[in-house]
Amino acid sequence: MPYEFNPIVKKWRRGFKRVALVYPNKYKGGIANIGLQKIYYEINALENYVCERFYSDVFNGFRSIETATPINEFDLALFSLQYEKDYFKAIEIAKKFKGIKIAGGPCVMENPMPLKDFFDYFFMGEIEGCKVEEIVELSWDDCRKGIYSGIEDKVERIKVKKLKDHLKEQIIGDGAYGRCVLLEIGRGCIRRCRFCIVRQIYSPVRWRDVSEIVEVAEENRKNVEKAALIAPSPTDHSRFKEIIQSLLDLNFRVSPSSLRADMVDRELVELLVKAKLESLTLAPEAGSERLRQILNKGISEEDIMNAVSLFSKKIKKVKLYFMVGLPSESYEDLDAIIELAKKVKSYVRNVTLSINPLVPKPHTPFQWLPFDVKKLKAKILYLKKELVKSRIKAEIADINEFAIQTALSRGDEKLCKFLAKQKIRVRDVGDYLKEIPINSELPWDFIDHGYKKRRLIREYEEVVSFITS
Ligand code: SF4
């Protein structure tokens, strides 16, 4: 049982309703999710409601972490779907539950169609855009336009213009960022990476004031000595260094959720070293400049090497994230991954690569691209051999798993029958992996995220003309 500080154990009394907050993956990820913690506190603050949490690795996801109460004794279950691979566990838990089931989270905002048979409602958007009472009482008012019950022709994601007050009192557990206070410094991303769904489903970009962040940190300082700075691209906060300095003044160790290579300079390195950052994680995504340009990543090899050289001798290890299966990718582009890793290794010996195939995600300009299992497997095989030759460590994705993930990400309700059996093979979903004709109607077109589809088409066509020019 995870050891945690500050959980709410609210006694259930006759007349109270029980709400299950289900994170169908490990505790480590669930406790590091500030949005879920906020919902948990808000529901427990309601007079006649008790909210308890469920994680896949605590009682196998069927009993609550607080009181070990079985899921079927709850009145309502809220599921948070962060990754397509979580669908299987979510459905296993959902099948045991007879009450009303509502699903939310990024996968729902992306495309809920493969999950249609398993939940009563899908909530699309930010819960701060409506009152939590509306959700638990199923009395849609402010959030009506963001609810999908399976019949609506159009659903509009609920957004908030300005972030609401940050959660002050937090549960401190051993989460993905370690034992720390979670500080959400911003939401949404100013960048336009073409493979990334964050730019669409968390728009607009919103940042928190330094004073608010420091106030939350200060309140939690007595309970914890580490702070995690959370945002899709935290270094884009205009006062990022000031935030770190303020946290250092409070004697915190600081860990940002990610760093962009082009934002690293000597001053930032000094601050992060003082904040006890031990390893550097960067996401070049591709080995060659040409592919990074296609991705619209906005960082160059010079940026990457500059960041690594500034951190060398100050950190113990470097992790680099890459993707394969990018549009127009050749074997020379794969060689460029190895070459870049070797260059980084000449500065920091302990280098690990994480290599995943590109998942052509809904709502991105890459949503029409194919996922070619055969070609990807050949590329991964090639990379594995080259990595061994060059003695570079790597975590390499299983292509079949990502093929299923791609199908679930851009599939339709026909996939429900496979999910119901808890078994999907790549050969079952071949049709969902093919290139999609640009003028097709897509299963997720009914979700209004506030962007125009023709803008995505334009971007896709720009990529095609760049490749063919
Ligand atoms: S990949 Fe990162 S920097 Fe690029 S749009 Fe997504 S969140 Fe922003």
- pLDDT for residue 468: 87
End-to-end CA distance of the chain: 58
Give 260 Cα–ligand 1 centroid separation in angstroms. Answer: 9
Q: Which residue has the least CA distance to atom 7 on ligand 1?
A: 232
- pLDDT for residue 6: 84
Atom of ligand 1 nearest to the CA of 258: 2
- pLDDT for residue 412: 98
Give 293 Cα–ligand 1 centroid separation in angstroms. Answer: 14
- pLDDT for residue 278: 86
Spatial CA neighbour of 122 closest among 457, 444, 467 = 444
**Residues pairing with 212 in the sheet:** none
- Give the contacts of 174 (CB within 8 A, at least 6 positions apart): 2, 3, 27, 28, 31
The structure tokens 């009394």 sit at: 13
Give residue-wise pLDDT tens across range 352-365.
999 999 999 999 99
Ordered mean pLDDT values, 10 residues apiece, the chain (469 residues): 86 95 98 96 96 98 97 97 97 96 98 98 94 94 94 96 95 96 97 95 97 97 96 97 98 95 97 94 97 97 98 95 98 98 97 98 98 98 97 97 98 97 94 97 98 96 91
Predicted TM-score (pTM) of the model is 0.96
Give 93 Cα–ligand 1 centroid separation in angstroms. Answer: 32
Give 197 Cα–ligand 1 centroid separation in angstroms. Answer: 8
Measured CA to CA in angstroms, residue 466 lies from 289, 321, 328, 330, 458 at distances of 13, 24, 10, 15, 12
Going along the chain from its start, the domains and CATH numbers come out as 17-156 (3.40.50), 177-276 (3.30.750.210), 278-469 (3.30.750.200)
Residue from 110, 185, 187, 191 to probe ligand 1 pocket by mutation (most atoms less than 8 Å from CB)? 191
